[in-house]
Homo-oligomer: A and B are copies of this chain.
Amino acid sequence: MSEFWKTSISEVRPNEIYVRGYALEELAARRSFGDIVHLLLTGELPAGNEGRLIEAILVTCCEHSLASPSVDAVRFVASSGVPLQTAVAAGVSSVGEAHGGAIEPCARLLKSAVERGQTARSLLEELKTQNRRMPGFGHSLHTRDPRAPLLFKLAKQWRLFGPHSKFVGDIEAATEAVFGKLLPPNVDGAIAGLMCDMNVDPALGKAFFIIGRAPGYVAHAHEQVTAERPFKAAAHDEITYTGPGRRPVPLPTDERK
């Protein structure tokens, strides 16, 4: 028994593939992609409408045009003459703390507050004292991110709106009093609440963004190579150089040369 190659996720035998014990063909025949995402992320198939909600979450993450660092990265990389997967990987790799990265810390705060029975107001005051912002609330472009209310509406309709999602609303209600400004949840905040209510590990917060945005990255990589010329880059005469003026290169003073 190998200790080095070990996994509980799937099993492969000649002509047989099992994912967490389920035959892959049966999964493909009977279950939606959202159900399978749930299976892979939590270890079990959903009991209710979780797969549908996961698909709705993935769809809300699928595109945000070129107004997105990761999509811009995909376009530049794709223009360099690389295979599709290389351009998509560049997009995936830039789902960082400042871009899709609010889901995880938001989920951690929601989970701990709900566990401890903390009020939204007390949580926000705690953050304010530490000079921190509440992740998952407010948006630089959308004063009211349309994706958040939609996801909560669907969750209610599908009986998946639980205490963490409710707490997201409590936080919104408390923002004005604490921060002097109403901060509605953005798509990250909504996903954070919903994933906690579906019992997905907060460490997987970025997973929804990564999986959901993957087809968007594919579309952008494809558009780049079919609609534009190779070698997309800033034009030399549009770049502002702010460094030192021109100077001669001194010869080294070390002993080597």
Let me know if A246 is at the binding interface, CB within 8 A: yes
Task: Report chain B residues within 8 Å CB of A97.
Answer: 80-83, 230
Task: Report chain B residues within 8 Å CB of A41.
Answer: 215, 218-219, 222
- Complex Cα distance, B240 from A60, in Å, reads 22
Is the beta-carbon distance between A211 and B220 smaller than 8 angstroms? Answer: no
Q: How many copies of this kind of chain does the complex include?
A: 4
Let me know if A108 is at the binding interface, CB within 8 A: no
Let me know if A33 is at the binding interface, CB within 8 A: yes
Let me know if A131 is at the binding interface, CB within 8 A: no
Q: Which of A204, A245, A257 has the most CB of B within 10 A?
A: A257
Let me know if A151 is at the binding interface, CB within 8 A: yes
Is the beta-carbon distance between A223 and B22 smaller than 8 angstroms? Answer: no
Contact status of A25 and B219, CB under 8 A, knowing A34-B33, A93-B77, A239-B6: no
> Which of B2, B72, B214 makes the CB contact (< 8 A) with A210?
B214
Instruction: Give residues of chain A (142-156) contacting chain B, Cβ–Cβ below 8 Å.
Output: 142-147, 150-151, 153-154
Is the beta-carbon distance between B33 and A59 smaller than 8 angstroms? Answer: yes
- Complex Cα distance, B244 from A46, in Å, reads 16
